[in-house]
Structures are given as structure tokens and as C-alpha cells.
């Protein structure tokens, strides 16, 4: 196995992009500590998809609290038997999604709270963003068959995508590796998976947004 130059990597992306799958594959093949988001336990999520205007604020607050709690616990605990840490989300996800779900006055308040908490968390050495067009994301979402996700639209996914890139541009001090995986399938093809691994672990990544396309 090649020497890993990062201690903490985050796999980010839109809904249905394959974040959890790729993070799990990396952890398996590189003996990394794996952090997975606990979204399935959130009681507000199904309610939000059925009535967004009513449940958006409690949903985003609950995600904010849970993500902070999990990352604080997981990142403080050192695992001497793992080579590095990989997660399928980072705390910024709270700001990205809330910008699409909250009214402007709610989001302004939420944003202030977010940045107060955000400054206290360890920052990843590398943010990997899996870029997938909304049309393909909708197919991926349909295939996994979660009932509460059936109301997701291409417009909503496009808004989430734009919010991610807004965050990247507004926080240029981090390393963002945006990988366009539209033309590959790293799950079905081992060769495609190796291409993604090579980009993440072997190619240089500077500060700000770094684009890679196959």
C-alpha cells in the first residue's frame, strides 16, 4: 500500500453521489478509521420530506447538533491501529443543506451558530467532492429505494450542488478535490476505482478548488 499523505479525509457530494460507498471502500483497503453519518436515526427527516416548510428548521438544528457531537467524539479518539481517518461527510454539510431548506432570516441565524461551532472542530486535510449530474443522482436515489427520498427533485439537487461550490469558494484556505465521476462507475469497475484512488492519494492537490475529470 502506498504511503498516505493525509491524516483526515472527507468524502463529500450530493445526495446519491456515492459518498458512503467510497468512504467505506477506502477504509477497507487502506486500514482507515471510518466515520459514517448517522442520518438514519433522525426522526425529523421523513417529516421534512413530507412537509419541508414546517420541519426544515428543527431538522437542520438536529443535524447540526448530531454532526457536531459525532465528529467531536470520533476525532478526539485516536486509533493507533488505523493509518488515517476517512468520513462520508463533514460539518459543512449542515450549512450547505440549510441554505436550501431555511428561510432567509432562519438561515442568517443558523449561519452564525454554524461558524461559531465550526471553528472548534478539526479541519480535514482533504475534501473530496464527488460530482454527479442531477439526472444520474435521481437514478441512484431511486435504486436505493428510500421512501422519504421519492420527493427529491432535480432542482433541489442542483441547489445543493451550487451550495457546496459556494462554500468552497468562500473558504479557499482548504483543499477541495472535485472529481467528476459522471463517466465512470467506481463500484462496478475496479479499474475506475483505481483511477479515483490514484487521483486522491497520488496527485498533488493545492489550496482551493482542484478539478479532475475522467
> Is 88 among the catalytic positions?
yes
Lowest mean pLDDT: which of 103-112, 144-153, 177-186?
Answer: 144-153
pLDDT exceeds 70 at position 40: no
Which candidate in 51, 88, 185, 191 is catalytic? 88
Query: Can you tell me whether residue 8 is helix, strand or coil?
Result: strand
Q: Is the pTM of this model over 0.75?
A: yes
Contact call for residues 167 and 48 (beta carbons, < 8 A): no
Closest CA to 61 of 95, 35, 38, 36: 95
Q: Which domains does the chain have, with CATH numbers?
A: 8-213 (3.40.50.300)
Assigned C-alpha cell, 49: 420530506
Q: What is the pLDDT of residues 103-131, one digit of tens each?
A: 999 999 999 999 999 989 999 999 999 99
Q: What is the dihedral of CA 178, 184, 187, 193, to 10 degrees?
A: -70
The grid cell for 31 is: 486500514
Share of the chain above pLDDT 90, in %: 77
Check: CB of residue 120 under 8 Å from CB of residue 75.
no
Are the beta carbons of 20 and 85 closer than 8 angstroms? no
Mean pLDDT within 29-33: 93
Confidence of residue 50 (pLDDT cuts 50, 70, 90): confident
Whose grid coordinates read 468562500?
A: 170
Q: How far apart are CA 212 and CA 196, in angstroms?
A: 10
Amino acid at each position: 500500500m502506498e504511503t498516505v499523505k493525509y491524516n483526515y479525509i472527507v468524502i463529500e457530494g450530493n445526495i446519491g453521489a456515492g459518498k458512503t460507498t467510497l468512504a467505506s471502500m477506502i477504509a477497507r483497503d487502506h486500514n482507515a478509521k471510518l466515520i459514517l453519518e448517522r442520518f438514519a436515526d433522525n426522526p425529523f427527516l421523513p417529516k421534512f420530506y413530507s412537509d419541508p416548510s414546517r420541519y426544515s428548521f428543527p431538522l437542520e438544528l438536529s443535524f447540526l447538533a448530531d454532526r457536531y457531537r459525532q465528529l467531536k467524539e470520533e476525532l478526539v479518539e485516536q486509533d493507533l491501529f488505523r493509518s488515517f481517518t476517512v468520513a462520508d461527510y463533514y460539518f459543512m454539510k449542515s450549512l450547505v443543506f440549510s441554505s436550501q431548506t431555511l428561510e432567509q432570516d432562519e438561515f442568517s441565524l443558523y449561519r452564525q451558530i454554524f461558524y461559531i461551532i465550526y471553528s472548534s472542530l478539526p479541519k480535514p486535510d482533504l475534501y473530496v467532492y464527488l460530482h454527479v449530474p442531477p439526472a444520474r443522482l435521481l437514478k441512484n436515489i431511486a435504486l436505493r429505494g428510500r421512501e422519504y427520498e421519492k420527493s427529491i427533485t432535480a432542482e433541489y439537487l442542483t441547489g445543493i450542488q451550487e451550495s457546496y461550490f459556494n462554500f468552497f469558494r468562500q473558504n479557499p484556505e482548504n483543499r477541495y478535490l472535485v472529481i467528476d465521476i459522471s463517466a465512470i462507475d467506481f463500484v462496478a469497475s475496479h479499474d475506475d476505482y483505481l483511477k479515483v484512488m490514484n487521483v486522491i492519494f497520488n496527485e498533488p492537490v493545492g489550496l482551493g478548488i482542484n478539478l479532475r475529470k475522467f
